[in-house]
Amino acid sequence: MALKTCVNSKNHFIFRQLFDSLSCTYTYLLGDLNKKECILIDPVLEQVKRDFSLVNELGLKLCLALNTHMHADHITGTGYLKKLTGCKSAISKASGAQADIYLEDEEQISLGNICLKVLSTPGHTNGCVSYYCKDQHIVFTGDALLIRGCGRTDFQEGDPAILYKSIYSRLFTLPPETVVYPAHDYRGMMSSTISEEMKYNPRLTKSLEKFVDIMNNLNLGYPKQIDKALPANRSCGLHYIPKENLQNTVL
């Protein structure tokens, strides 16, 4: 694994979208079949067994577990995956969470032929980033941009005006055909595109003032897992590793 240098290639790329139904979180696997290495974005603790089995079944080595931000609605699977595979963890420096690698805006992540550019997209939290894969025309938007929605801005360091600016300046400036893969969906939608969201997102087709007003009046409930998820995710879930032995699940 190397940071900052990227190899441009569309060959040997494998991609999987995985779902956790309890937190409605998407985890993404990006692999280079030639190098037999892969990355997981936003793994969920309760789904580590599934993800670990899949990675092994595909004959891949997990090298990097990336988080888009310090999640409040689930405990990251990063710590457990590190224990199982020896992979490195990464999160933005601005998140304030612990990891092996601290990412900064515009930084390039390279693994085999996979190249991801870090785009700082704060507003849901200060440390939110999106990961843009130009070669594959895809972007992982975390909780900044959701399908026909966006991440809430009423806890952690949420700020609707900052979120609006992030989405307009960093995501809506990507090529319109770029496919959007968010960290969550609560209605069964799986992906969108930048152009679709620019046209149809009911919050983001509004002015900044109207957007701020909408976001400040969502009256959402207190996140169920926040009190255990935030302390756990500050250390990338390192202290939340089940005692269960996964040896038998390795294929």
Binding residues for Fe ion, per CB under 5 A? Answer: 71, 143
- Which is closer to Fe ion, CB of 116 or CB of 150? 150
CB of 72 to Fe ion, least distance (A): 5
CB of 73 to Fe ion, least distance (A): 6
Q: Please identify which residue in the block is written with the tokens 């960093």.
A: 170
Region of residue 42 (left: phi > 0; alpha: psi -120 to 50; beta: else): left
- Which is closer to Fe ion, CB of 55 or CB of 129? 129
CB of 216 to Fe ion, least distance (A): 18
CB of 44 to Fe ion, least distance (A): 12
132 with 105: CB under 8 angstroms?
no
Residue closest to 17 by CA, chosen among 2, 7, 30, 35: 30
- Which is closer to Fe ion, CB of 71 or CB of 170? 71
CB of 41 to Fe ion, least distance (A): 13
- Which is closer to Fe ion, CB of 31 or CB of 158? 158
Cβ-closest position to Fe ion: 143
- Would you state the structure tokens that stand for residue 179, as one six-digit string? 């496919």
**Length reported for the chain:** 251
Q: What are phi and psi of 208, to 5 degrees?
A: -55, -45
Q: What is the DSSP code (8-state) at residue 226?
A: H
Q: Report the alpha-carbon distance of residue 167 to residue 117 in Å, rounded.
A: 16
| Three-state DSSP class for residue 243 | coil
52 with 95: CB under 8 angstroms?
no
- Which is closer to Fe ion, CB of 113 or CB of 166? 166
